[in-house]
Structure 1
């Protein structure tokens, strides 16, 4: 499909259908690969140079992104998770979609396909339409995703708490599962854990905290420590359990945490964080709260989650298993959001400690299935669910760093430590120094000789 020297693209032999057909194929393909080249060769050269300049600029931007990805990935992720930068990306992509559409239309004008043979005429027109839709469609889709991502990130990640350096080589985050079902008055932590991520390797360790643990201490700097210097007992609510700290601080002692709201948190979360720090011996600067009522939407948006069920679990019913509406059977199950939520929350027939392990199992399964391909294919639904499900005080300025760290986390096995009797922990009267020792041994194992 070559043109002879005597049949240039700008001044072809219009009387030859073969020449005009080959010319049309070349112009369509060149316009797709290098927008503006068709105009330089066969149309308005000034207009074509504008297209070539725009194309060159896009290549430079893509090359810069590739260099950043391999040399400074954190900086690239910081840009791509900045809502204002994403607004700029959206504007640029919309501009390129319009530019490519204009050049596609102008190229079609230059084809003069009526001079080609009938079959070539039809095929060239189809190819021109296909490539025009592909180029403008990709840019338009990119602009749409940038808009959705910017809105989602802006709604979840605000200024948050001040950025902090890792403590002893780890970032520690309090992960709360908020139980705000229709049968509950308000939200309370039903699932509590501390996620400790190695700042170098990305190795994640999940430390499960029993929600019914008693006599929980507070760090000495905490306002709650002044009220409960000997542990959380004789409290101002009905049950002095770990997950009751949230309710008490929210209801009775909100004034003890005057800066919580401004930093994207709440008094209840900050009080719970103070208890988790004392219990684990870890500095915990940030939290992530997952609303379990909306958790099902997130799993449905992911397309379900695959977990291995070890024991038959009831959906609904009372302690005598009366009124059970359905059973989750043992074996490998692909669960939708409704069944996954019950897998995590089902109580009767198993202990709270079993439920803790199932919650951690489900969290690990979701992390494993949060692949780029899965996220991109269901991006809109996941983003929509995320704004309803997740709240956090992780500052937006730290998001790029944590995204880069998360790419390392996915390649490492997740360690778990449940503070339960199975691991020698008495939840009614916890031995705090022993808990600290267990966590330290897990996070800082002795070097192999």
Structure 2
């Protein structure tokens, strides 16, 4: 026994030695750190926090749950791929990106993805702090690591939350403004012509009298924009073929009834059709198409005057217009003459009895209230001066619509736009409209004013001359080799 037992013990497999952690600590210090060293744990903690911010999920792959880490990395790669695709698309296929980016379902999906990614980032950050084991880091470092994690989380999730808010707000705003459905708008003779109407906010359309009437003609290829302005009191205008031409074959006639509007000015037409005529019988399909009988009559009037097709309209609420300018941070305008603020200020009343203030000459940065009066005031100057000021304000607003301003004030701009605009332009036209707007911003806007300065007799306009002038502006003759 004494000799056999030692032999048996010598031949048997020796018990496994205790596994040492030193080699693993050296090979994989992130997953198996030397927890006894505060310096090592501090360095490891900073690395995990930074990696979690740069590539969410990488901290888990190195030191925690690889499954959770892979989810984070895949989600990050997907988001980066979508962002890169959007940038490349904006550079090389802008129309496609606009079509996709303004689709309500795509915006809803983008909003959901960004919210989900923000939630995932929160989960990964909390898990990263668990992996850091703050109690093992240096006493001062643990507060710095925790604070940095919170700051980076707010920065990252705040960006994702902002993107989700932009997507949701864009979807809601486009839905509120472009509620009409139908096929996309087709150009007429190479142009998209849109009636632009500015009016006070009133409870119903019946009593609206448009202070600003113009037609925006956008070249379907280049985006070059021409704005034709109409004097609000333009009389005796013709109509294009339709129900109003049947009623007024020799041009619009005046009225002596204040209910229907005094005189025959074009800005009275909406009230006449809505109040004094049964507009729903004249234009039975107007409401179902997102318009109104009075607006349709105004369309027929501007078509008859200009000799071009104007299928759609945009109405701007002047009070919400003030909010939009404030949302943009104001506009800069070179004021040419002193303009009174306030009203009504009837002729014959001393200015000091009604004026609330003055807009003095010179370059000024105007808020919404001041800019609105600059465009609307008609006392001490003429209606023709007011038309010029309205074009100046339109140009100033276009200049202020920079990407930086829109992104930093997006919510305010979107809210003001939703309250300000109503239109019958179908949502299918949004991508084309945005693409043309980007092209138009790079060019000067051409204006046509149907005023004496433009060669038009305001009391007895020459309609044939107006139509010829419009055609020449929209379709200028090509230069000959002789110049």
Which of these residues, 269, 276, 286, is aligned with residue 245 of structure 1? 269
Which of these residues, 318, 323, 344, is aligned with residue 297 of structure 1? 323
Instruction: String of CA shifts for 1:67-126, please: whole Å, max 9, x gaps.
Output: 321232122222322333222221111111110000010111111232222233222222
Structure whose CA Rg is larger? 2
Instruction: Indicate the SS of the match to 2:36.
Output: coil
1:309 pairs with 2:335: yes
Instruction: Indicate the SS of the match to 2:98.
Output: helix
Instruction: String of CA shifts for 1:288-326, please: whole Å, max 9, x gaps.
Output: 101113321221222211111111111233323432221
Does the Cα contact within 8 Å between 2:33 and 2:41 map onto a contact in 1?
yes
Does the Cα contact within 8 Å between 2:208 and 2:270 map onto a contact in 1?
no
In the alignment, the residues of structure 1 paired with residue 201 and residue 30 of structure 2 have an alpha-carbon distance, to the nearest angstrom, of 69
Instruction: String of CA shifts for 1:18-43, please: whole Å, max 9, x gaps.
Output: 22222112211111111111111111
Aligned to 1:349: 380
Aligned to 1:19: 40
Q: 1:99-118 maps to which residues of 2 (within 5 A)? A: 99-118=120-139
Instruction: Indicate the SS of the match to 1:428.
Output: coil
Does the Cα contact within 8 Å between 1:319 and 1:349 map onto a contact in 2?
no
Instruction: Indicate the SS of the match to 2:180.
Output: coil
In the alignment, the residues of structure 2 paired with residue 196 and residue 185 of structure 1 have an alpha-carbon distance, to the nearest angstrom, of 27
CA RMSD of aligned residues (A): 2.0
Structure 2, unpaired ranges of 5+: 1-23
1:276 pairs with 2:297: no
Which of these residues, 212, 217, 230, is aligned with residue 250 of structure 2? 230
Aligned to 2:101: 80
Aligned to 1:288: 314
In the alignment, the residues of structure 2 paired with residue 16 and residue 421 of structure 1 have an alpha-carbon distance, to the nearest angstrom, of 88
**TM-score normalized by structure 2?**
0.88
Aligned to 2:90: 69
Does the Cα contact within 8 Å between 1:160 and 1:392 map onto a contact in 2?
no
Deviation, structure 1 residue 181: 6.8
Instruction: String of CA shifts for 1:8-66, please: whole Å, max 9, x gaps.
Output: 21112222222222211221111111111111111111111111221122122222222
Structure 1, unpaired ranges of 5+: none
Which of these residues, 119, 125, 129, is aligned with residue 150 of structure 2? 129
Deviation, structure 1 residue 264: 1.1
Higher mean Cα deviation, 352-361 or 122-131?
122-131
1:194 pairs with 2:197: no
Aligned to 1:368: 399
**TM-score normalized by structure 1?**
0.94
Q: Structure 1 pair 234/125, CA: closer, same or farther in 2 (3 Å)? A: closer
Does the Cα contact within 8 Å between 1:180 and 1:186 map onto a contact in 2?
no
Instruction: Indicate the SS of the match to 1:192.
Output: strand
Which of these residues, 16, 33, 36, is aligned with residue 54 of structure 2? 33
Does the Cα contact within 8 Å between 1:39 and 1:48 map onto a contact in 2?
yes
Deviation, structure 1 residue 185: 7.9
In the alignment, the residues of structure 1 paired with residue 147 and residue 282 of structure 2 have an alpha-carbon distance, to the nearest angstrom, of 69
1:333 pairs with 2:364: yes
In the alignment, the residues of structure 2 paired with residue 176 and residue 343 of structure 1 have an alpha-carbon distance, to the nearest angstrom, of 17
Does the Cα contact within 8 Å between 2:303 and 2:310 map onto a contact in 1?
yes
Aligned to 1:95: 116
1:210 pairs with 2:210: no
1:421 pairs with 2:452: yes
Higher relative contact order (CA 8 A, sep 6+): 1
Does the Cα contact within 8 Å between 2:59 and 2:128 map onto a contact in 1?
yes
Q: How many residues align?
A: 445
Deviation, structure 1 residue 5: 5.1
In the alignment, the residues of structure 2 paired with residue 15 and residue 6 of structure 1 have an alpha-carbon distance, to the nearest angstrom, of 17
Instruction: String of CA shifts for 1:174-203, please: whole Å, max 9, x gaps.
Output: 110113479x98322111001111122211
